Structure 1
Amino acid sequence: MTKSFSHKLGQGGYGAVYRGNMPDGREIAVKMLKGMEDDGIARGLEYLHTGCNARIVHFDIKPHNILLDQDFCPKISDFGLAKLGQQKESRISIAGARGTIGYIAPEVFSRNYGPVGSKADVYSYGMVVLEMVGARKKIDVSTDDSSSKYFPQWLYENLDQFCGPTTSEISSSSDTAEVLVRKMIIVGLWCIQSKPADRPSMGEVLEMLESNAADLQLPPKAFWTGY
């Protein structure tokens, strides 16, 4: 809980940071993003995938591995599971699954979904984005069928119910919290497509984050499997 964002701790490059408390009483720092134009994590992953001499796949993107520096800017941490590949390689050889349950791409478990490569990080990033907007927690506690339907599937089918107006009703100049949440959810759903070939690259993710919410369309696929 943030007490309506009344206790400001500081100002970072991506928005203000406020004091909050977890349900168990632990204090936390909560960043209210001022916009999606400068997403520190998406750009960081895009650099790892395409900007380095060697392609680096992190394989463990999750909230615990995204830290804030002294300026409250998010940084990717813990490269213990990362793998190197040649710049032009589309797949990376790994032995067994690696990562954290809930954020691991399907192909890391089963090659039937496709080859393992940088799109595994795209999937994990998408799950983090959906966590950021509180989708999993809100749906789990507020819907009658949450126990029988994986939460991204519920989001896909009930996006307007979750975050408000349809895309046709969103002004291209609107920057309300509801519009940003809708944009993040659509981007997240694109990122967690079951097959890596159906997911965008991190460069394409950045383009979506920098676009108007009214221009974004839901992905054509509407089935996800929880595990």
Structure 2
Amino acid sequence: MPVFFVGSSSWRPTACTQCEGANSKGRCGHNRTGDFIGCLCPDGRVHSDNNCNKARRQYSKKTTRIYIIAVSSSIPMLCLLFFAFWLGYKKYGCKRKSKETARIESYLQKNGTVHPKRYAYAQVKRMTRSFAEKLGQGGFGAVYRGDLSDGRQIAVKMLKDFKTDGEDFINELGSISRTSHVNVVTLLGFCLEGSKRALIYDYMPNGSLERYAFKDSSEGGNTLGWEKLFDIAVGIARGLEYLHRGCNTRIVHFDIKPQNILLDQNFCPKISDFGLAKLCLNKESAISIGGARGTIGYIAPEVYSKQYGAVSSKSDVYSYGMMVLEMVGARDKNISPNNESSSQYFPQWIYENLDEYCVSASEINGEITEVVRKMIVVGLWCIQLRSTYRSTMTRVVEMLEGSTTGLELPPKVLLS
């Protein structure tokens, strides 16, 4: 077997010159007698050909063939997996969709005279100009602005697909369709077409209560005066009283918060978003729920623990009280001396500094002082920990519309 030497000799054959050329970049291999044996190429292989370029091209072609074979063999596997996923989706996903749709359709048939007008999805797209103007986004989905054929402005809420087995859709239709009150939004229609679900309401040009009542005036936001805030608080109380006592079927909202209070062109409040609502017989006092529902900060204690009482319409009372106290605290954030309330539970702080706060907030205006005091005292009665100690919404309306004379504070111990 000849010995392989790498290097150069005094005599260089043509093959070596080509092997070590700029295009080849190899190293010449020869035996002891100087005969050319092969070209050592950068890929570590010895090629009898005197040019590594050809070897590289051959190697590249071979590697490419390997890649092509690997990819070609994996495509059928990927197609098989995709087909299995599609088959599973068709079998279980569509079954779930059809089950939920059937449940909603069954409800609509049983309550055919109750629910409002039904629209096709194509009509909804046309009314919203293909959802051109988005008004807001929430956990339920998005809200878009639109117009009816008669020019009436509307807000269209597109519900997300299959979040609660259609429960939110049924709740909204089943509850708000039974209402007719100046302080409750009007449901004009709905859409149920395949996976598309929409609820159509009157458009509220001033948005939600959060947009106005909870802005810091120092930030240049839109704020409302005490009189207007008080009128809004009274309107919400009347709306809740109607839901709890005025309807043929009692309705508990379970999600009273600033974002769900809409304001019309005259800042008249409208209770909206009945996705968590529960319908109850008039004689029922307690409500059975599957789990905690509502928004943190506004949820009544009994919704979490039975030790605070039974879940009932008093749960809405608690949420209302927290919202009113938040309206009070947000209206004049810098009034509390030395900003003490920032490190103390605000209801507790306002209880201890009620008179001072009312005078400061009203700028020594007697009528405003009375308005602020009413809102605070009513709010404190509403957030009592035990539901039996809270006022009903009927009593809340009476306190707000009556005089502050004889309007007593609730026991302080219950605020701990």
Name the counterpart of 1:101.
296
Alignment of 1:70 onto 2:261: no
* Conservation of the 8 A alpha-carbon contact between 1:60 and 1:124: yes
Structure 1 residue 27, shift from structure 2 partner: 4.9
1:223–1:97: structure 2 CA closer, same or farther, 3 Å change rule? same
Range moving further from structure 2, 125-134 or 185-194: 125-134
Q: How far does the alpha carbon of each residue in 1:105-161 deviate from its partner, in whole angstroms, 9 at most, with x for none?
A: 1101111100000000000111111112126945789434642x3211111122122
The one-letter code sitting in structure 2 at the alignment partner of 1:192 is I
1:118–1:142: structure 2 CA closer, same or farther, 3 Å change rule? farther
The runs of 5 or more residues in structure 2 that have no matched partner are 1-181, 183-205
Q: Which is richer in helix? A: 2
Counting aligned pairs with the same residue, the percent is 61
Name the counterpart of 2:404.
213
* Conservation of the 8 A alpha-carbon contact between 1:92 and 1:117: yes
- Once the two structures are superposed, the pairs formed by residues 68-217 of structure 1 within 5 Å of their partners are 68-134=263-329, 137-138=333-334, 142-144=338-340, 146-147=342-343, 149-164=344-359, 176-217=367-408
The one-letter code sitting in structure 1 at the alignment partner of 2:396 is V
1:89–1:70: structure 2 CA closer, same or farther, 3 Å change rule? same
* TM norm structure 1: 0.77
1:22–1:129: structure 2 CA closer, same or farther, 3 Å change rule? closer
1:29–1:194: structure 2 CA closer, same or farther, 3 Å change rule? same
1:33 is matched with which residue: 227, 239, 264?
227
Q: Provide the alpha-carbon RMSD of the alignment.
A: 3.2
Counterpart CA distance in 1 for 2:321 and 2:215 is 23
1:67–1:177: structure 2 CA closer, same or farther, 3 Å change rule? same
The runs of 5 or more residues in structure 1 that have no matched partner are 1-12
Counterpart CA distance in 2 for 1:186 and 1:25 is 28
- Once the two structures are superposed, the pairs formed by residues 30-69 of structure 1 within 5 Å of their partners are 30=224, 32-33=226-227, 39-69=234-264
Give the aligned length.
201
* Conservation of the 8 A alpha-carbon contact between 2:249 and 2:281: yes
1:145–1:67: structure 2 CA closer, same or farther, 3 Å change rule? closer
Name the counterpart of 2:201.
none
* Conservation of the 8 A alpha-carbon contact between 2:254 and 2:276: yes
The one-letter code sitting in structure 2 at the alignment partner of 1:213 is T
Counterpart CA distance in 2 for 1:50 and 1:139 is 38
* TM norm structure 2: 0.44
* Conservation of the 8 A alpha-carbon contact between 2:256 and 2:320: yes
The one-letter code sitting in structure 2 at the alignment partner of 1:47 is Y
Counterpart CA distance in 2 for 1:118 and 1:81 is 13
The one-letter code sitting in structure 1 at the alignment partner of 2:280 is G
1:54–1:142: structure 2 CA closer, same or farther, 3 Å change rule? farther
Higher gyration radius (CA): 2
Counterpart CA distance in 2 for 1:216 and 1:138 is 26
Find the residue that maps to 1:180 and give its secondary structure: helix
* Conservation of the 8 A alpha-carbon contact between 2:226 and 2:368: no
